[in-house]
Amino acid sequence: MARISIFGIGYVGVVSAACLARDGHDVIAVDVDAGKIAAINAGLAPIVETGLDELVEEVVAAGRLRATDDVQHAIDATELSFICVGTPSAEDGSVGLGYVETVCRDIGRALARKDGRHAVVIRSTTVPGSTEGTCIPALEAASGKRAGADFGVGYYPEFLRESTAIKDYYDPGLIVFGALDPATAETLTALNAPLGCKIHAVDLRTAEMVKYTSNTWRAVKVTFANEIGNIAKSAGLDGQTVMEILCSDSKIALSPYFMRPGFAFGGSCLPKDVRALRHMAAANGTATHLLDAVLEANAAQIARAEKMVRDAGHSRVGFVGISFKPGTDDLRESPLAELASRLIRAGVQVDIYDPYVSEAYSSGHSAAGRGNDVIPDLKDRLIDDLDRLIEGAGAVVIGNLYNETVSRLEEAAANVPMLDLTRLNRRLVSGGRYQGICW
Ligand SMILES: NC(=O)c1ccc[n+]([C@@H]2O[C@H](COP(=O)([O-])OP(=O)(O)OC[C@H]3O[C@@H](n4cnc5c(N)ncnc54)[C@H](O)[C@@H]3O)[C@@H](O)[C@H]2O)c1
Ligand SMILES: O=c1ccn([C@@H]2O[C@H](COP(=O)(O)OP(=O)(O)O[C@H]3O[C@H](CO)[C@@H](O)[C@H](O)[C@H]3O)[C@@H](O)[C@H]2O)c(=O)[nH]1
């Protein structure tokens, strides 16, 4: 079993830390957010994610996971560090490496005072060349040591999806890493061996590129499915049925994931990673006709939904779901939040039912605190009682589906105008008071 420090207790860091601790490793989580450190040490998850509350409670009680802001202690007490800090878009769409660079410098300074061997592995999403061009120079400058010789370096992307993060952690679609030195490659191979999945050991930059290719492919699939859905609807057809039949073609083996026509894609990863890849390509003088169109079409899908709602002409609208997908409290680049904000700016009264976002507020998570930056007065708009939301609304926008809401919404569909962006059930097709975005 290894002693591992995880830098960044966000959606990736906390899930990785808890899963590694459950697997028997001794894990120290490091963050600059005192609230997250306190939550972990109290045995509480700092985000809303299925199964995470129980897991964090279990591993903290077992003494295998603890959190600190003491970088030197975390480096001295472990032999492997994972960097899981954010890489948000810079203003020009390029990848923001500021947090990664800072944490590399922090780790480098601690490595300068450490004698034993240590490996630093980046798990944040960074464009090809970032590990070599930004992380390694920062680590070497701060430590006065040589990467690959005096300490190990790897790039090992994470592919988990929020809402199914723990399940994805144990059942990844693929495992790929790049390592500067054989010892780090061996460590990462051994760590992944229990998962029983093929391991692709490549160079650092190829591993970085695979991560962007994965997210870009998902964005392309969603955009293609949505466009077919929009076209099908314009011909009076059901776009979801069309895509389901297409996906049954065993010869071209299309996975049905990300192929269901509906609303725009969003979240903290797909939009920012498509932008970053596009920016990198432009810097290399390479055209990105498809990626340009993906971003344009995705923005148009939000405008399409906005037009549907505004054409319906209601002054008060109830949203079912506001986070970027069901099962998470994450509001980052949520297309539903963007749609709601536009309606609010246009003078529409917007009420919101979202059990995950409400839970984030009631648990005092720091992500909830940022909610009002995304939607004015978000906290005051949240309604925990679905009946109350439906009764007060001129129309209901179904953005995310939750098991407990299905039968109540089906019942309400008979009387209340509904704009469905996800699909309440397959029997419903547009007509009368009910409108689906692609069916
Ligand atoms: N969210 C996902 O589902 C997901 C999945 C795979 C990969 N990724 C990638 O992983 C990275 C992290 O994403 P996230 O969603 O977990 O981010 P996040 O914003 O939820 O968490 C990042 C954490 O890093 C902390 N941090 C910032 N600076 C720090 C420092 N100097 N020292 C220690 N901690 C510091 C922040 O306080 C925060 O808690 C990004 O590059 C993202 O693209 C995300
Ligand atoms: O059929 C689909 C599936 C997803 N989406 C949308 O696509 C976006 C992203 O969803 P998803 O990929 O499930 O969530 P993330 O948690 O953002 O995960 C993506 O981004 C992570 C961060 O890089 C990667 O680790 C994951 O592999 C990658 O799926 C969301 O707006 C979804 O609503 C669709 O519109 N249609």
16 and 149 assigned to the same domain: yes
350, part of any domain: yes
pLDDT at 250: 84
What CATH number is associated with residue 403?
3.40.50.720
* Residue range(s) defining the domain that contains residue 404: 297-436
Grouped pLDDT means (10 residues each) for the chain, 439 residues: 97 98 98 97 96 98 98 98 98 98 98 97 98 98 98 98 96 96 98 94 98 98 97 96 93 84 97 98 97 98 97 95 96 97 97 96 80 88 97 97 96 94 94 94
For residue 195 and ligand 1, the question of a CB distance below 6 A is answered with: no
> Is 175 a member of any domain?
yes
Ligand 2 mutation pick, 12, 161, 220, max ligand atoms within 8 A of CB = 161
The answer on 193 and 61 residing in a single domain is yes
User: Within this chain, do residues 194 and 343 fall inside the same structural domain, yes or no?
Assistant: no
> Is 379 part of any domain?
yes
Q: Out of 150, 176, 203, pick the residue that ends a domain.
A: 203
Q: Which of 203, 231, 262 is the last residue of a domain?
A: 203
> What local confidence, expressed as pLDDT, does residue 253 receive?
58
pTM of the entire structure? Answer: 0.96
Q: Ligand 2, residue 162: give the atom nearest the CA.
A: 16
Confirm or reject: Cβ of 159 under 6 Å from ligand 2. yes
Q: Which atom of ligand 1 is nearest to the CA of 158?
A: 6
Same domain, 50 and 193: yes
Domain for residue 247, yes or no?
Answer: no
CA of 313 relative to ligand 2 center, distance in Å: 31
| Three-state secondary structure of the chain | CCEEEEECCCHHHHHHHHHHHHCCCEEEEECCCHHHHHHHHCCCCCCCCCCHHHHHHHHHHCCCEEEECCHHHHHHCCCEEEECCCCCECCCCCECCHHHHHHHHHHHHHHHCCCCCCEEEECCCCCCCHHHHHHHHHHHHHHCCCECCCEEEEECCCCCCCCCHHHHHHCCCCEEEEECCHHHHHHHHHHHHHHCCCEEEECHHHHHHHHHHHHHHHHHHHHHHHHHHHHHHHCCCCHHHHHHHHHCCCCCCCCCCCCCCCCCCCCCCHHHHHHHHHHHHHHCCCCCHHHHHHHHHHHHHHHHHHHHHHHHCCCEEEEECCCCCCCCCCCCCCHHHHHHHHHHHCCCEEEEECHHHHHHHHCCCHHHHCHHHHCCCHHHHECCCHHHHHHHCCEEEECCCCHHHHHHHHHHCCCCCEEECCCCCCCCCCECCEEECCC
372 is a domain residue? yes
438 noted as active-site residue: no
Q: Is 162 annotated as a binding residue?
A: yes
Residues 176 and 307 reside in one and the same domain: no
Q: Do 171 and 55 have their domain in common?
A: yes
> Structural domain tally of the chain?
2
**Considering every ligand atom, which ligand is closest to the CA of 101?**
1
Is residue 190 located within the same domain as residue 323?
no
Based on the domain organization, do 8 and 152 belong to the same domain? Answer: yes
Q: Rounded to the nearest whole angstrom, what is the distance from the C-alpha of residue 11 to the centroid of ligand 1?
A: 7
Whole-complex ipTM: 0.98
pLDDT at residue number 254: 72
Domain co-membership, 187 together with 322: no
- Final residue before a domain boundary, out of 203, 226, 245: 203
Q: Is residue 261 in a domain?
A: no
Residue 425 lies in a domain: yes
* Domain assignment of residue 116, yes or no: yes
Same-domain check for residues 333 and 184: no
